[in-house]
Amino acid sequence: MADNLQLNDEGKLKHFLTIEGLDKSLLTEILDTAESFIGMSDQQVKKVPLLRGKTIVNLFFENSTRTRTTFELAAKRLSADVLSISIATSSTSKGESLLDTIRNLEAMFVDMFVVRHAISGAAHFIARHTAPHISVINAGDGQHAHPTQAMLDMFTIRQIKSDFSSLKVAVIGDILHSRVARSEILALNTLGAAEVRVIAPKTLLPAHVETLGVSVYHNLMEGLKDIDVIIMLRLQKERMTSALLPSESEYFKCFGLNEDKLKYAKPDAIVMHPGPINRGVEIDSKVADGPQSVILKQVSNGIATRMAIMAMAMQKPGMTS
C-alpha cells in the first residue's frame, strides 16, 4: 500500500519511513544521489554546504552503533548542525511521553528527526504529529522497517553487481523478527531483482511470507544454488518471546554460513550482513572476514546513502544534479 505521507504534493521525498509505496525511479534517484556523494570520503575537506543552517536531531530510543554514527557523520558532511540525544539520560526516563519530547525539540527549531524506536510505527507516528516543515527519517522501528539500511545495501549491490535484473538474492536467518529483511525484500523487488529467496527454519519465518514476493527454502545448501548475493541476518534474541530454536549450535550447523556452505552459491557471490554480526551463530569468521564479504563496505556506503536521503528529504539535490 502506498504511503503518501512520505511524499510531498510534487511526489518528492518529504519523510523516509518505509520502502513500501516508493517506486523504482525514486529508489534509483536515491542510489544516483548517493553515488554523487561517494567520492567525498577521500577528499581533504569532507563537507558540502547543502544543509548549512539546518538542525538535525538523532533520536535513538534503541541501541545502535552503525546507523547512529553514519547518520551523524552524514549530517555533518552536509554541514547541518546535528544533535544526538541520549534517550537513557533524557527526560524520557522521567516519564515524558514521546509526543512531549517531540514538541519540546520542535520548540528548538529543529528541521529533521532521525528516529530509531523499538515500537513498529514510531517514526510514522512522529511524522504524522510533527510540524509540517519537519522531515522524519526512520532509522529502524521495531520489526517493521529499516529503509535506510535497505538502501545502503542496494547501493552496495549495485556498486558491485551493476544490474539488478539478473540477480538472485538470498536473505538468510531470522526473517520473522527482522525489519531489515522486510525492507530489503521490498527494495529488491521494486528494483527488479530476478529472484529473492528467504532461507530459514519454519519458526523464523512470518506466516504467508511468500506474499512478500519471495521463494522459500528451509535447506541452506539448496537455497544457495545459483545465488549472486547473500544477505545474512542476526538471530534477534531480544525480540523472541518463546524458544524458537533447539540451540544456537544446532542453528549454526543448519543455517550458519561457513566456507563449505558458501561454495554452493555462485563463485563470485558477495556476502552481506547489516550488523551487528554474531560470529559462530549465523556466520563463521572466515566468511565474515573473507574475500567475498562486503560487510564493512556496507558500513562505509551508509554515509553517502544517508547523505542522499537527508538531502533529498530537505529538497536539496545531490552533488551532480
Binding site for ligand CP (CB under 6 A): 64-68, 140, 149, 274-276
Q: In the complex, what is the shortest distance from the CB of residue 53 to ligand CP, in angstroms, rounded to a whole number? A: 27
Residue at 279: amino acid letter: R
Q: Tell me the C-alpha distance between 242 and 203, whole Å.
A: 10
Nearest residue to ligand CP on Cβ basis: 67
Instruction: Give 194's DSSP letter.
Output: S
Q: Tell me the C-alpha distance between 298 and 273, whole Å.
A: 8
Q: Tell me the C-alpha distance between 282 and 26, whole Å.
A: 33
Per-residue cell: 258: 561457513
Residue with cell 522486510: 182
Based on CB atoms, which residue is closest to ligand CP, 150 or 193?
Answer: 150
Based on CB atoms, which residue is closest to ligand CP, 66 or 266?
Answer: 66
Q: Tell me the C-alpha distance between 109 and 55, whole Å.
A: 7
Q: In the complex, what is the shortest distance from the CB of residue 283 to ligand CP, in angstroms, rounded to a whole number? A: 14
Asked whether the beta carbons of 107 and 134 are under 8 A apart, the reply is no
Q: In the complex, what is the shortest distance from the CB of residue 277 to ligand CP, in angstroms, rounded to a whole number? A: 10
Based on CB atoms, which residue is closest to ligand CP, 276 or 290?
Answer: 276
Q: In the complex, what is the shortest distance from the CB of residue 28 to ligand CP, in angstroms, rounded to a whole number? A: 23
Based on CB atoms, which residue is closest to ligand CP, 43 or 65?
Answer: 65
Q: In the complex, what is the shortest distance from the CB of residue 143 to ligand CP, in angstroms, rounded to a whole number? A: 13
Based on CB atoms, which residue is closest to ligand CP, 140 or 201?
Answer: 140
* Burial label, 259 (beta-carbon count in 10 A; 0-12, 13-18, 19+): exposed
Nearest to 228 by CA among 164, 145, 153: 164
Nearest to 231 by CA among 294, 285, 147: 294
Q: In the complex, what is the shortest distance from the CB of residue 197 to ligand CP, in angstroms, rounded to a whole number? A: 21
Based on CB atoms, which residue is closest to ligand CP, 67 or 138?
Answer: 67
